[in-house]
Structure 1
Amino acid sequence: MAKIAFILLCHKDPDAIIKQAERLTAAGDFMAIHFDARANPASFEMIKDALGDNPNVTFARKRIKCGWGAWSLVQATLNAVEAAVDAFPRATHFYMLSGDCMPIKSASYVHGFLDNDDVDYIESFDFFESDWIKTGWKEERLIYRHFFNERTQPKRFYGSFKLQQKLGLTREIPADLQIMIGSQWWCLRRRTVEWILDFIRKRKDVMRFFRTTWIPDETFFQTLVRHLVPENEIKSRTLTFLVFSDYGMPATFYNDHYDLLLGQNFLFARKISPEAHELKRKLGDLYASDKTDFQISNEGQRLYKFLTNRGRVGRRFAPRFWEAESTIGRDRELLIVLCKKWHVAKRLVETVRQVTDLPVLEYLFDEEATALPDLGGIQSTLAKRTRHRRALTRMLFDYYNTNRMLICLDPNNVDLLKDFQAGGSNIRLLEIECNFSDDYLIGHARRVGLAGENTPHEIVENLLPTIRQDVVYESEQIREAGFDHHSLIRERNSVEENTPPIAGFLDITDDKARQIAETNHLFTD
């Protein structure tokens, strides 16, 4: 059975650290603690006094003053790992934690999970080929030497960098290493940890290299594990659930996140708010329990992104060259049906296709599978279609040899609508306003990945008002944009009430518009 030596890096909140150590070691596991040498000495003494008699707790022999982005974080980790290897010969796994982490499964589940697969869990992506680094320096982290801490000595940090850059003082990466990158929150087997410790004793050149790289806690262990361990024995993922905002800051979890956390396919979560006492209590009780039947929905990342991105509107500083030079033509008219319920719009436009001679394309900017003619590859993916939307639309007009064409769009495409209008295009909108039951919105949440089949009922219930408001918000955005030709039909309206807007939108007779309004089962889900 798996026995875990937790490697805990911490610098504050001694009460929480003591409780964390007591909780995790009570299940038969171990802990090696590195308490930042910059922190309050009284806090460290408090921790030692409380845990000194616990045989399952040890401390790093040498404490390091830690700084973000610096080698000190890796050295502190190595000091704690070495202490754990010596103190706990029965430990089978070594799991990195911070003081803000909490288990989100029971100890029984955690041990069973690790027993099921004889692998190392560590995010490990190619440093140069992957997109793990979203913005900022990339190769500069490695090919220049970083002697100073960027946050505490910014002038020296950037001055040293600019001087090396000016003098061309770059360096080579150790020839036999493929530099990898990933989260610092890993779980490694004992054999792997022993290989790493043996490797660093022998390879002083590698240690010199990493000591002066920037943010080495994201590259050191990730690179060495890939170098030493067969690929089929590595799972490139972390077992600690963490979510980052688009500013690169980790999300914080509070008392009302309990059900959400339990549904994620992870063993621990970071970071738990210091004030979330109820959440900590419930997670502590959970870890000590025998519960092993967790319903994994794993929608946490998508749900966080959805909730935090609502209402955020991006603006471009200038049009791209293909937008400035590609218009659909002022003598052409693009008819757009807007509807959140795609099946309703598809039924309506199929009747339009039969009653009129208009070329009709369904959700070409929303649905990859929309049937399109071969236009030289510009139509091949949603990303390409959206990126070259005006050029694509112009080519479709040319392909069908027409000046009028109808497409369907999801109402969340308000930026695309504005772009068509800004490009001098003649557009007409027909918005279909539908009724949304709770069951439909739950289905919508599952279709777009905000919830899964196993998402707890409480989470879905809490999500419903937000989704419903989001639908209303999209419609309001379209109406507030002030498009010149904006017609509206409603599910609650009669056929007689919906006929005139359809006639005006398509510029057809009332008889033909009535045929379309009478589409069989138009609003049926």
Structure 2
Amino acid sequence: MAKIAYILLCHKDPGAVIQQAERLTAAGDYMAIHFDGRAAPEDYQSIRAELADNPNVTFARKRVRCGWGEWSLVEATLHALRSAVEEFPRATHFYMLSGDCMAVKTAEYAHRFLDQHDKDFIESFDFFDSDWIKTGMKEDRLIYRHFFNERKHKQLFYWSHRLQKRLGLQREVPADIQVQIGSQWWCLRRRTVEWILDFTRKRRDVMRFFRTTWIPDETFFQTLVRHLIPEGEIEPRTLTFLMFTDYGMPVNFHNDHYDLLLSQDFLFARKISPEATELKSRLGRLYAAQGVDFQISNEGRSLYKFLSQRGRIGRRFAPRFWETESSLGRERELLIVICKKWHVAKRLLEQIRQVTNIPAIEYLFNEEDTPLPDLGGIQAALMKRTRHRRALMRMLFEYYESDQLLICLDPGAVDLMNDFHSDRSSTRFLQIECEFSDDYLAGHAHRVGLAGERTPQLTLERLLPTIRNDILYENDRIRDAGFSQLFQIRESNSPEENADQLRGFLGLTEEKAMQIAGNHYLFAD
């Protein structure tokens, strides 16, 4: 059975470090601790004293003064790894942790998982070809030498960088090394760790290179594992669940995140908020528990993205400069059907096609596979359609040789509605207001990835009010947009009331409008 040696890098809160060590070793696992050399000596002594009688705990032989983005973080990790390898010969895996991490599965589950997956778990993507680095310095991290801490000595850091660029002091990456990048939170097998430690003793050139790279904790182990281990034995992901905000800051987890964390396909999570005492207590008891059944739904990141975007939606009032003279045509009429239940809007379009000659296209800005004529490639992808929306619409008017065109939009596409409404052409809107049962909203959450097949019912119940309020908010935005010709049909209205709105929207006779509105299964789910 798997035995895990946890490599803990920490720098504060000795009480929490002691608790974490006792919790994780109580199940028979091990821990090697590196406590930052910058921390108070008395804190370090208290940790050593409290854990002195625990045979499953050891300490790095040397304490390093660590700094963000520096080689010191890798050096500290290597010191702790060497101690763990020497002290714990029965350890089969070595798992990198910080003081902010906590287990979100039982030891029983973790051991079984590692027994079933004989691989190294480490994010490892090509440094130059992948898009892992979203902003800021990329190749300059490697090809120039970095001697100063960017956070503590910002001016010196960038002065040194500029000077090397000006003097052309670039350096080469070691010829036989393909640099990789990824998260520093990994879980490696014993053989892999032993090979890495042997490599560090033999390849001093590679060690010199990484010592002066910037943020080497994201490249050193990631590169060496790819260099030493066959690709088929590497799982390029972390077993520690972490998320980042739009500003690149780690998301903190709080007391009400317990169920969400347990349902993710990870063994640990970071960062647990210091104030989340209830969450820490519950997770602390979890690791030693037996027979716990976990329902893995893994919707955490998509759910966070959805919730964090509420309230951030902006509105673009003015047309972009390249669209200023891109009118659809003053003589043309664009008819837009707005509906959250796409199947209802599509059903309505089918009725309109049977009664009128108006060309009608379904959700062309929302669904990639919407049937469209060949327009020279502009129709090929959603991104192209949205970016060149006015050009696309002009081409569709010309293709159908019509001065009227009907399309469907999701209520969330208010920016598109505003853009078309500001055009010189005539634009009319038909808003379809449907009723939403809890069952429908739950299905919607599954369809858009906010929930999985095994999402706990309690999590789903908490999510449904947010989804319902989001739909109401989108409808309010449409009403507040001030569209001059906005017509509305409702599921709760009579066919006669809806026919009156359709007559104004489509410019039909009362008889034809009633023919469309009289469809008794129009709103059926």
In the superposition, the TM-score normalised over structure 2's length comes to 0.97
| Aligned counterparts of 2:317 and 2:502: Cα–Cα separation in 1 | 37
Mapping of 1:271-286 within 5 angstroms? 271-286=271-286
Contact 2:359 2:400 in 1 (8 A): yes
Where does residue 291 of structure 1 map in the other structure? Answer: 291
Kindly provide the amino acid, as one letter, of the partner of residue 91 in structure 1: A
Where does residue 115 of structure 2 map in the other structure? Answer: 115
Q: What is the identity percentage for the equivalent residue pairs of Structure 1 and Structure 2?
A: 70
Q: CA separation of 1:216/1:392 partners in 2, compared to 1, >3 Å: closer, same or farther? A: same
| Aligned counterparts of 1:243 and 1:92: Cα–Cα separation in 2 | 28
Contact 2:315 2:415 in 1 (8 A): no
1:424 Cα shift?
3.7
Q: What are the superposed Cα offsets for residues 418-464 of structure 1, whole Å, 9 maximum, x if unpaired? A: 22234444321100011111111111111100011110011011111
| Aligned counterparts of 1:194 and 1:322: Cα–Cα separation in 2 | 59
SS in 2 for 1:340: coil
Where does residue 177 of structure 1 map in the other structure? Answer: 177
1:318 Cα shift?
8.7
| Aligned counterparts of 1:501 and 1:47: Cα–Cα separation in 2 | 74
1:314 Cα shift?
4.4
Q: CA separation of 1:324/1:63 partners in 2, compared to 1, >3 Å: closer, same or farther? A: farther
Q: CA separation of 1:196/1:327 partners in 2, compared to 1, >3 Å: closer, same or farther? A: farther
Where does residue 214 of structure 1 map in the other structure? Answer: 214
Q: What are the superposed Cα offsets for residues 143-193 of structure 1, whole Å, 9 maximum, x if unpaired? A: 111110010111101111111122222111112111111110000001111
Where does residue 416 of structure 1 map in the other structure? Answer: 416
| Aligned counterparts of 1:319 and 1:311: Cα–Cα separation in 2 | 23
| Aligned counterparts of 2:210 and 2:265: Cα–Cα separation in 1 | 32
SS in 2 for 1:226: helix
Once the two structures are overlaid, the 10-residue window that deviates more, 160-169 or 353-362, is 160-169
SS in 2 for 1:132: coil
SS in 2 for 1:133: coil
1:313 Cα shift?
2.7
1:249 Cα shift?
0.7
Kindly provide the amino acid, as one letter, of the partner of residue 291 in structure 2: K
Kindly provide the amino acid, as one letter, of the partner of residue 387 in structure 1: R
SS in 1 for 2:430: strand
| Aligned counterparts of 1:137 and 1:291: Cα–Cα separation in 2 | 47
Contact 1:6 1:30 in 2 (8 A): yes
1:291 Cα shift?
2.6
| Aligned counterparts of 1:246 and 1:152: Cα–Cα separation in 2 | 24
Where does residue 361 of structure 2 map in the other structure? Answer: 361
Corresponding position: 1:31 with 2:31 = yes
Where does residue 260 of structure 1 map in the other structure? Answer: 260
Where does residue 387 of structure 2 map in the other structure? Answer: 387
1:45 Cα shift?
1.1
Q: CA separation of 1:324/1:170 partners in 2, compared to 1, >3 Å: closer, same or farther? A: farther
Kindly provide the amino acid, as one letter, of the partner of residue 350 in structure 2: E
1:100 Cα shift?
0.7
Kindly provide the amino acid, as one letter, of the partner of residue 66 in structure 2: C
Kindly provide the amino acid, as one letter, of the partner of residue 95 in structure 1: Y
| Aligned counterparts of 1:214 and 1:244: Cα–Cα separation in 2 | 21
Where does residue 80 of structure 1 map in the other structure? Answer: 80
Pairwise CA RMSD: 1.5
Contact 1:334 1:427 in 2 (8 A): yes
Kindly provide the amino acid, as one letter, of the partner of residue 189 in structure 1: R
1:484 Cα shift?
1.6
Where does residue 438 of structure 2 map in the other structure? Answer: 438
| Aligned counterparts of 1:156 and 1:470: Cα–Cα separation in 2 | 48
| Aligned counterparts of 2:146 and 2:64: Cα–Cα separation in 1 | 18
1:509 Cα shift?
1.3
Contact 1:121 1:237 in 2 (8 A): yes
Once the two structures are overlaid, the 10-residue window that deviates more, 502-511 or 296-305, is 502-511
SS in 2 for 1:408: strand
Where does residue 523 of structure 1 map in the other structure? Answer: 523
Contact 1:347 1:519 in 2 (8 A): no
Where does residue 249 of structure 1 map in the other structure? Answer: 249
SS in 1 for 2:151: coil
| Aligned counterparts of 2:188 and 2:218: Cα–Cα separation in 1 | 15
1:142 Cα shift?
1.2
| Aligned counterparts of 2:348 and 2:317: Cα–Cα separation in 1 | 38
| Aligned counterparts of 2:320 and 2:333: Cα–Cα separation in 1 | 23
| Aligned counterparts of 2:125 and 2:389: Cα–Cα separation in 1 | 33
Alignment size in residue pairs = 525
| Aligned counterparts of 1:297 and 1:360: Cα–Cα separation in 2 | 38
1:266 Cα shift?
0.4
Kindly provide the amino acid, as one letter, of the partner of residue 229 in structure 2: V
Once the two structures are overlaid, the 10-residue window that deviates more, 154-163 or 285-294, is 285-294
Contact 1:324 1:423 in 2 (8 A): no
1:211 Cα shift?
1.0
Kindly provide the amino acid, as one letter, of the partner of residue 513 in structure 1: A
Once the two structures are overlaid, the 10-residue window that deviates more, 473-482 or 421-430, is 421-430
Where does residue 9 of structure 1 map in the other structure? Answer: 9
Q: CA separation of 1:324/1:128 partners in 2, compared to 1, >3 Å: closer, same or farther? A: farther
1:319 Cα shift?
6.1
Where does residue 196 of structure 2 map in the other structure? Answer: 196
| Aligned counterparts of 1:167 and 1:421: Cα–Cα separation in 2 | 55
1:195 Cα shift?
0.9
Q: What are the superposed Cα offsets for residues 112-147 of structure 1, whole Å, 9 maximum, x if unpaired? A: 000001110001111111111111111111111111
SS in 1 for 2:249: coil
| Aligned counterparts of 1:271 and 1:503: Cα–Cα separation in 2 | 57
Where does residue 511 of structure 2 map in the other structure? Answer: 511
Once the two structures are overlaid, the 10-residue window that deviates more, 377-386 or 349-358, is 377-386
SS in 1 for 2:12: coil
Contact 1:27 1:107 in 2 (8 A): yes
SS in 2 for 1:288: coil
1:325 Cα shift?
5.5
| Aligned counterparts of 2:485 and 2:320: Cα–Cα separation in 1 | 26
Once the two structures are overlaid, the 10-residue window that deviates more, 304-313 or 385-394, is 385-394
1:277 Cα shift?
1.6
Corresponding position: 1:238 with 2:241 = no
| Aligned counterparts of 1:317 and 1:140: Cα–Cα separation in 2 | 39
Q: What are the superposed Cα offsets for residues 9-30 of structure 1, whole Å, 9 maximum, x if unpaired? A: 1111111111110011011110
Contact 1:32 1:83 in 2 (8 A): yes
Where does residue 305 of structure 2 map in the other structure? Answer: 305
Kindly provide the amino acid, as one letter, of the partner of residue 260 in structure 1: L
In the superposition, the TM-score normalised over structure 1's length comes to 0.97
SS in 2 for 1:290: coil
Kindly provide the amino acid, as one letter, of the partner of residue 394 in structure 2: R
Where does residue 62 of structure 1 map in the other structure? Answer: 62
Q: What are the superposed Cα offsets for residues 466-522 of structure 1, whole Å, 9 maximum, x if unpaired? A: 111100111111111111211111111111111121111111112111111112301
1:281 Cα shift?
1.5
Contact 2:121 2:234 in 1 (8 A): yes
Q: Which ranges in structure 1 are unaligned for 5 or more consecutive residues? A: none
Kindly provide the amino acid, as one letter, of the partner of residue 477 in structure 2: Q
SS in 1 for 2:293: coil
| Aligned counterparts of 1:410 and 1:313: Cα–Cα separation in 2 | 15
SS in 2 for 1:444: helix
1:395 Cα shift?
1.4
SS in 1 for 2:489: strand
Where does residue 129 of structure 2 map in the other structure? Answer: 129
Q: CA separation of 1:322/1:377 partners in 2, compared to 1, >3 Å: closer, same or farther? A: farther
1:321 Cα shift?
6.5
Contact 1:335 1:429 in 2 (8 A): yes
| Aligned counterparts of 1:453 and 1:112: Cα–Cα separation in 2 | 23
